[in-house]
Amino acid sequence: MPLYLRLLMVSGPPGEVDAAAKRHAEQFDRLRADGKLRLSGTFVNGDGYFEILEVKDRHEAEQLTRECPLVERGLASVVLREFEQD
């Protein structure tokens, strides 16, 4: 299955971001349990997330990204790129 980098850069008000970030953590826990999240991390200064998704195609990667609470609420910008593992 292809791999996708999902880079989320948080840019919303702290109170709104905190609430959405809790729901985002629940989403990536589900993705990890489903075997769709290979790696994830939070930037040291707390302004974003780096995630590697392993999904069947770009459509699924885009759907999962649209369902991300931070994205749904307009609190983060997104970069989504397919890549090949060396």
Q: How far apart are CA 26 and CA 52, in angstroms?
A: 16
Q: Domain count for the chain, please give it.
A: 1
CATH of the domain at 25: 3.30.70.1060
pLDDT of 45 reads 86
pLDDT tens, residue order, the chain (86 aa):
999 999 999 998 888 999 999 999 999 899 999 999 999 999 998 899 999 999 999 999 999 999 999 999 999 999 999 998 88
- CA-to-CA dists, residue 42 to 20, 27, 58, 59, angstroms: 14, 14, 23, 25
* 29 membership: H or E segment, kind and range: helix 14-33
For residue 7, the enclosing domain spans 3-83
